Every structure is written in structure tokens, then in C-alpha cells.
Structure 1
Amino acid sequence: MDAMHTLPQLFAQLGLPSEPPAIEAFIAAHRPLAGDVALYRAPFWTPAQRSFLKEEIIEDADWAAAIEELNARLH
């Protein structure tokens, strides 16, 4: 199994700026996400980003840890 991915790698995979200051700015701009809103249902994702996030969490794929970290930081 591949090593777990990092938050910067997740941002790059989503087509977003992946430098730490850009990640912090994204999180600051989009939090807090309402507690009852699943990360992939947040309104700021593109359809492709939403699909990727949903599929990776459902499959508990090697992206899951980074997605869960992002989820926690946005909520």
C-alpha cells in the first residue's frame, strides 16, 4: 500500500495552491463549515473536487487521512 498523502499533496491533487500559506488561507477563508455538512458537500468545491473527495472517503483510500485532516480543520 502506498504511503499516506499529506495535506499539501491533497491540495495539489485538487488543483489548488499547495504551499502551506495558501493552505492556511484556504482554511481560514472557508471555515467554520457547519457541523452537519459533509466535507465533500461544502459549496466551494467544483464537481470534480467533490467527486474525488467523496470517492476517496467512501473507499477509505490512501487519501483518507489527509481528507480527514482537512475536514477537521474546516469544521
Structure 2
Amino acid sequence: MKLVAAMKQALHALEQPPGMSSLAIAQELDIDGLCAWRLDGFPLSFWYFERVDHVFVVRLVGQPQDPEHIEVMNN
């Protein structure tokens, strides 16, 4: 239940005004607009793109994973 609560909290934060997340992963992977938001209390991050009317989450990524080996779709 703690994980679900952390996920809901993170998704709620992503719905707030844009620009609050890290773009470091976008620079590292050379994927324009890819953002990351870490879940409080867990070694997990949402990877997502901000759109005009929604947030498009593409992955829930465990921190130990190597991002260079994860393919991300940019829709």
C-alpha cells in the first residue's frame, strides 16, 4: 500500500504546473522532453513527457537499471 500511495502522490505532483521535474535523463539519453520524477521512499522514478493537456508516462524505472539499455517511445 505504501508504494501505491507514493505513486499516487507522484502522479498528483506531475499534474501541477510544468517544469518541476528533472530533465537530466533527457540530456543523458538525448531524448527531447523526457522528464523524470522520483517516488518518495522508493528507488523508482516515473519517466514521462509533458503534453499541453496531459502527462504521458512511458516507464516506471527502478534506479539500479541502466538507462542506456531502456528504449523509450516518444509519442
TM-score category of the 2 structures, normalised to the smaller one: under 0.3
Higher relative contact order (CA 8 A, sep 6+): 1
Q: TM-score, normalised by structure 1?
A: 0.26
Which is richer in helix?
Answer: 1
Which is richer in strand?
Answer: 2
